[in-house]
A = this chain, B = another copy of it.
Amino acid sequence: MAKIQLPGLIDAHVHLREPGYTHKEDLFTGTSAALAGGVTTVLDMPNTVPSTSTPERLAEKVALAVDKAVCDVGLFVGATSSDLDAYLPAAQYACALKIYVNETFGSLRVDDLSTMHRLFRTWAERADELGGWRSEAAKGLGPIAVHAEDLMVPVCVLLSDLYDVPLHVVHVSRRSEIELIRVAKEKGSRVTCEVTPHHLFLSTEDLPRLGARGDMRPHLGTPDDVAAMWENLDVVDIFATDHAPHTLLEKASETPPPGVPGVQTMLPLLLTAVHAGRLTVEDIITRCVDAPRRVYSLPAQADTFVEVDVDAEWTVSDEAMLSRSQWTPFAGMSLRGRVERVTYLGRIVYEEGQVLAKPGSGRVLFQGRVLFQSE
């Protein structure tokens, strides 16, 4: 049994659902599932209820995370069309600004040209006030992260180019998108992007089997889209899960909400790809540690590492999931590589399927610094 040690992973895209949807997940269950997946930092999305779009809402979520998280948590602030004046004071203290320019779960949505233009312009103006994008002070502003599909990708890349604002395109899923991002990067655009495990390991061919369990935004790609992700891995900066839990009851309803859990299964899926010769361990560290740390200016984690048995074979099951939703679209898949033990800031926090950390032992990250640590 070959054991290896990895740095604690960063999942730069999770929905921990608190406040508002704690029947699906909360900051304790979500960060517990993260630890079980070898993830010691999560960046939490703002489409909760209420949404994280003002300084007050951000402060409330910080307080919740301080009380409940068991790993490092960074927070996104979401742009809205209604709270335009409130987003900036909030967002500049978060890990990044998130704009939903395409339809997804929740009410956050900005998709008209003048509002999008204004968001990029004001973000750039704030960076200028701080001394320009290359200054230390502006680094903490973070990129503008966008849920942008299809034609919205070039819209966002142009706005990024025009204002020299770093842009991060979350969960890229189509050939047309990744091929455009390749050309933009080659031309010098300040764009980075991420791909989820479900867009790497599942496709539309799995839909008959998965049903609503395979429904998320962006939708699963065609086999050709999936092939494009693998062909263009050199353009993919980050692997992140878009962990988006809903209950199985909700998923079985007439109108199932889009989204699937993923934070616990990312590392084993990627290790299985290593075993198959499709990835190297270095590829994982680059995309799940180094790049998200650089893109979001996240602090280092001392004495934090993940012990993995890379040979262990196991079959994914809903029951093994620590997310409150307790299911996974990868159930039934046979994987190679299992998280055995996680050490976070010098303490063993996960071992043999058990989370050993107490709620509130995690840290809240702000602007590249540790803002709150309860102990």
**CB-defined contacts of A179 to chain B, threshold 8 Å:** 114, 117
15 sampled A-B residue pairs with Cβ under 8 A: A112-B150, A112-B176, A113-B154, A113-B176, A117-B176, A117-B183, A151-B151, A151-B155, A154-B155, A157-B158, A158-B184, A161-B161, A162-B183, A162-B184, A162-B187
Q: Which of B155, B175, B187 contacts A114 (CB 8 A)?
A: B175
Which residues of A line the B interface, CB within 8 A? 111-114, 116-117, 150-155, 157-159, 161-162, 175-177, 179-180, 183-184, 187
A113 touches B150 (CB 8 A): yes
Residue in chain B with minimal CB distance to A159: B154
**Which of A158, A175, A176 is packed against the most chain B CB atoms within 10 Å?**
A158
Q: What are the 10 closest A-B residue pairs judged by CB atoms, nearest first?
A: A158-B158, A114-B176, A113-B176, A154-B158, A154-B155, A162-B183, A151-B155, A162-B187, A113-B150, A113-B151
Known: A117-B179, A179-B117. A111 touches B151 (CB 8 A): yes
Docked complex Cα distance between A179 and B112 (Å): 13
Contacts of A176 in B (CB 8 A): 112-114, 117
The interface residues of chain B lying within 8 Å CB-to-CB of A152 are: 151
Contacts of A154 in B (CB 8 A): 113, 154-155, 158-159
> A112 — which chain B residues lie within 8 A by C-beta?
150-151, 176
Which residues of chain B are within 8 angstroms of A162 by Cβ–Cβ distance?
Answer: 180, 183-184, 187
Contact A113 B155 (CB under 8 A): no
Cα of A255 to Cα of B162 in the assembled complex, Å:
41
A316 to chain B, nearest CB (A): 34
In the assembled complex, how far is the CB of residue A298 from the closest CB belonging to chain B, in whole angstroms? Answer: 29
A177–chain B nearest beta-carbon distance, Å: 7
Query: Are A180 and B150 interface neighbours, CB within 8 A?
Result: no
Cα–Cα distance between A183 and B113 once the two chains are bound (Å): 13
Interchain nearest-CB distance for A375 vs B (Å): 48
Q: Contact at A113–B153, with CB atoms within 8 Å?
A: yes
> Nearest-CB distance from A358 to chain B (Å)?
48
A183 partner residues in chain B, CB cutoff 8 A: 117, 162
What is the bound-complex CA distance between A161 and B161, given in angstroms? Answer: 10
A150 to B101, CA, bound (A): 14
Return chain B residues, CB-CB under 8 Å to A150.
112-113
